[in-house]
Structure 1
Amino acid sequence: MNKLNYLFLLLTLVAEIVGTIGGFGSSVFFVPMGNFFFDFHFVLGLTALFHLFSNVSKIVLFKKGLDKKLLINIGVPSVIFVIIGGYMTKIVDSFILEIVLALFLVGLSLLFLVKKDLVINPNRKNAITGGVLSGFSAGLLGTGGAIRGLTMAAFNLEKSVFIATSAFIDFFIDFTRTFVYFNNGYIQKEHLIYLPFLLVIGISGTYLGKRILHFIEQDKFKTISLLLILLIGVVTLVNVLVKTN
């Protein structure tokens, strides 16, 4: 673990760009992709650290668009339940977590692809529920941005407001789970070699994603992103099952 995996870093950059454009966040790509290279718990630690850099970049680049009401209604329950989900990773076997992650990715992508007009009522109750589910998923599986994205989409936010608000919420989630994962022993000195590279990737990937966002229709790219998530979910499931044989 003392040598850099350059293919992993390249794929991390791609995950950050695609996650920024698609609106799902990079973790939905980063976590399953990282599992092909490292232990699941190691990936959780890396995800928390990487997202801290990534979300600071998004906050700086999209800072003018922030919905403070959604920040509270979704952000507070997210932070509370990311703690619960993070501590549960010590109780649940990592093999089970990988299976759940794969099924989560497949199910979520199929839901969005089939139910393209899926709408959640834009009210406080649904915002809080979305915060609970996305926070718990982020703590337990390493990714919860897609659930939060579905919840926030109900409020019909302008793109910059959507990304900025999501980034602020995500920052508090990652800041919190970093301490949980550290306490669990998931963040170790082996992570340190990746930190400067993840910092650069977080900034450059977000910047490139923002630039590309001006030239393509987000809805079309979101469909492509969903197909990629579906593919990653299927490959992750097959990979986990193969490892057990």
Structure 2
Amino acid sequence: MKNIEYMFLILALLAEVIGTIGGFGSSVFFVPIANFYFDFQSVLGVTAMFHVVSNLSKIALFKKGIDKRLILYIGLPAIGFVVLGGVISKYLNSQFLEIILGVFLIALSLLFIIKKDLVIKPKNKEAVIGGGLSGFVAGVLGTGGAIRGLTMAAFNLEKNVFIATSAIIDFGVDFSRTIVYFFNGYITKEILIYVPFLFVIGILGTYIGKLVLNKVSQENFKKTSLILILIIGVITLIKSALNF
């Protein structure tokens, strides 16, 4: 393998660690990183497969209680709408999707930075809307974990319960969109070679993230994560705009 391919794997590990600690999920970092190495449709395919493994690791390592209510009200709408988003992505221009991704990352990070006390009402209606929106965005852009995280945060879950419940929901979302992406032709031989490496990275990154999370405040780390998301969003937008 070439050095640049090794660098992609190192960055994927870093994305998994930061995503575990920050609470946003690794896709918000992994998708723009992968976009520098693959075309956007392949990015969607490799992200979905990577997250299936990553979320199984989180479920195993953070299995201290699961909120079944949120799996129902957030998880089911997310799974339904990720399928819709995945189907729609096939009919959208990939370069246009890259620009939308950059704008989304910038808007998302600025929203959390400016509105530090932003909260969503802990009610079933808000849970269903947040779940459906996160699933649709994940299907189209490859990353919707931050929207789901904001929705789940309203229910004030214990840290391990939050991560485990989010991982179960995310697993359903990623497994569903992997099937859609496969039939869309997004999962190619070019990215399948990375699957064994990403399998190990998913487990290792989650484990490292859990160790760090036990010693570092999630709130303080989240601030750093937001700045990183903003920077990545700006870089993604500039790169996409220049190639459009």
Normalised by the size of structure 1, how large is the TM-score?
0.97
Q: Aligned with 2:221: secondary structure?
A: helix
CA drift of 1:4 comes to: 7.7
Residue 146 of structure 2 is matched in structure 1 by 146
| CA deviation profile, 1:178-234 (whole Å, cap 9, x unmatched) | 000000000122222111100000000000000000111110100000000000000
Residue 103 of structure 1 is matched in structure 2 by 103
* Maintained 8 Å contact 1:64/1:161: yes
Residue 20 of structure 1 is matched in structure 2 by 20
CA distance in 2, matches of 1:2, 1:91: 33
Normalised by the size of structure 2, how large is the TM-score?
0.98
Residue 217 of structure 1 is matched in structure 2 by 217
| CA deviation profile, 1:9-41 (whole Å, cap 9, x unmatched) | 000000000000000000000001111111000
Aligned length: 244
* Maintained 8 Å contact 1:17/1:209: yes
Residue 157 of structure 2 is matched in structure 1 by 157
| CA deviation profile, 1:83-106 (whole Å, cap 9, x unmatched) | 000011111111111111110000
CA drift of 1:64 comes to: 2.1
* Maintained 8 Å contact 1:17/1:206: yes
Unaligned runs of 5+ in 2: none
Unaligned runs of 5+ in 1: none
| CA deviation profile, 1:149-189 (whole Å, cap 9, x unmatched) | 00000001110011000000000000000000000000122
Q: Aligned with 1:138: secondary structure?
A: helix
Equivalent positions of 1:23-34 (< 5 A) are 23-34=23-34
CA distance in 2, matches of 1:182, 1:74: 24
The 10-residue stretch of structure 1 (186-195 or 171-180) with the greater mean CA deviation from structure 2: 186-195
Residue 61 of structure 1 is matched in structure 2 by 61
CA drift of 1:148 comes to: 0.2
CA distance in 1, matches of 2:213, 2:2: 36
CA distance in 1, matches of 2:85, 2:73: 19
* Maintained 8 Å contact 1:4/1:193: no
Q: What percentage of residue pairs aligned between the two structures are identical?
A: 64
Q: Aligned with 2:116: secondary structure?
A: coil
The 10-residue stretch of structure 1 (191-200 or 119-128) with the greater mean CA deviation from structure 2: 191-200
Equivalent positions of 1:84-233 (< 5 A) are 84-233=84-233
Letter in 1 for 2:130: G
